Amino acid sequence: MYRLYLCHGPNCTARGADATRRALDAALWDADLLAQVELLSSGCQDHCAHGPLLLIHPGTCRYVGVTPERAAALVAHHLRDGDPVPAWQATPAMRRGAS
Ligand code: FES
């Protein structure tokens, strides 16, 4: 069972989190993963300049710039195939306040 936390803080919302959520819903439906994945909205996850931000549990994958296109690809790669996409993951330097 995966649990997805899609940031709906003010910055990620302004950067398209609503469209990302719709794309995630559609991709989960298409991949027949609705019974295995819970999609939740979260508050700010401190990566505001790189949103929309998606955290996936279990594990510590925090994806940045999750456009609708990336959302569909992440469902296929990470959730369906168990193959995370390192190129789209947050780095410590992206965290708000990192120096
Ligand atoms: S508003 Fe989404 S990480 Fe801050």
Q: What is the pLDDT of residues 49-76, one digit of tens each?
A: 999 999 999 988 999 999 999 999 999 9
Structure tokens at 82: 């168990």
Using the mean position of ligand 1's atoms as its centre, give its distance from the Cα of residue 16 in Å: 11
Instruction: Report the 3 state secondary structure along 17-43.
Output: HHHHHHHHHHHHHHCCCCCCEEEEEEC
Domain count, the chain: 1
- CA distance linking residue 99 with residue 94, whole number of Å: 9
- Which domain covers residue 13, as residue numbers? 2-94
Check pocket membership of 4 for ligand 1, CB cut-off 6 A: no
Substitution site in 41, 48, 64 for ligand 1 pocket (most atoms within 8 Å of beta carbon): 48
In-domain check, residue 78 = yes
In-domain check, residue 99 = no
CATH number, position 7: 3.40.30.10
Check pocket membership of 94 for ligand 1, CB cut-off 6 A: no
- % of the chain exceeding 90 in pLDDT: 94
Question: In sequence order, what DSSP letters do the residues of 5-18 get, joined into one string?
Answer: EEE-SHHHHHTTHH
Give pTM, 2 decimals.
Answer: 0.95
